[in-house]
Amino acid sequence: MQLTINKNLPIPIYYQIEEGMKELIEQGSLKPGDLIPSERELCEAYGISRMTVRQAVNNLVNDGYLVRQQGRGTFVSKGKMEQGLRGVTSFSEDMRARGMVPSTKLLHFGLIRAKKPLAEKLGLSEEAPIYEVKRVRLADGIPMAYEISYLSASLLPGFSAEAAEGSIYEYVENILQLKIGNAHQVLEASLARGSECEILELEQGAPVLLIQRKTYLTDGVPLEIVKSVYPGDRYKFVIDMQRTEPR
């Protein structure tokens, strides 16, 4: 990888690195999946400080040009995954529609007693049994989301850890013959913290998208409460909107 850096210009060095890498990516000299040199290698090659290199690389990661993989290095991004906000679909369905192979790493599966806030959200009595499921969702082996789900046990006879390793929606509809109707979803920006960083191969404080969803069956009965954390450098959500008449 060859960058042109002129220390005599009034343009910040980190910005020159950013623009140089963007140009190499857009020209195809750096291809999706390519490993870029480490911070140390870039410092030595161009005689610049590690802080300068880190600022440039961080900006490129935040803009979606690069993606970090913990323990492996920094790679040219394959592009952010686009997810529409219309319609209730499963992660597995979304990935297959993009020609990718979905998989799941099950971190935790168990029955717990619902405390009052969760019980109320699921329309259950306090202390009713619910399933707590923690999973990493992957596409082509890359971690794309960390999910924590709470599901009403009374609605899911025979539900197991094996079923949770696949698509829960497919289990609900194909095995139990229940019909998923609608969902209420809230999306907000956040920062990766704690175990999320290790699970999603992110640095502490990396930007993430936090989604909280409450899903209902067609008869209006709540099925699940799920919190999902998506890496901000790998995912973006889009919605088509129409102009409404002003009041």
Would you state the pLDDT for residue 81?
A: 58
Would you state the pLDDT for residue 131?
A: 97
Question: What digits encode the pLDDT tens for the residues 135-167?
Answer: 999 888 888 889 999 999 999 999 999 999 988
Backbone CA torsion sign across 141, 74, 135, 90? negative
Would you state the pLDDT for residue 241?
A: 67
Burial tier of 186 (Cβ tally within 10 Å: 0-12, 13-18, 19+): exposed
DSSP label at 245?
P
User: With a cut of 70, which residues of the chain have pLDDT below it?
Assistant: 79-88, 235-237, 240-241, 243
Residues 234, 205: Cα–Cα separation, whole Å? 15
* CATH class assigned to 13-76: mainly alpha
Within the chain, which residue ranges are assigned CATH 1.10.10.10? 13-76
Q: What is 81-238's CATH number?
A: 3.40.1410.10
Paired with 66 in beta bridges are 76
Helix (H) or strand (E) holding 50: helix 50-62
Would you state the pLDDT for residue 156?
A: 94
Would you state the pLDDT for residue 127?
A: 94
Nearest CA among 182, 196, 133 for reference residue 160: 133
Residues 206, 210: Cα–Cα separation, whole Å? 12
Would you state the pLDDT for residue 86?
A: 55
pTM of the model: 0.67
Within the chain, which residue ranges are assigned CATH 3.40.1410.10? 81-238
Residues 178, 163: Cα–Cα separation, whole Å? 15
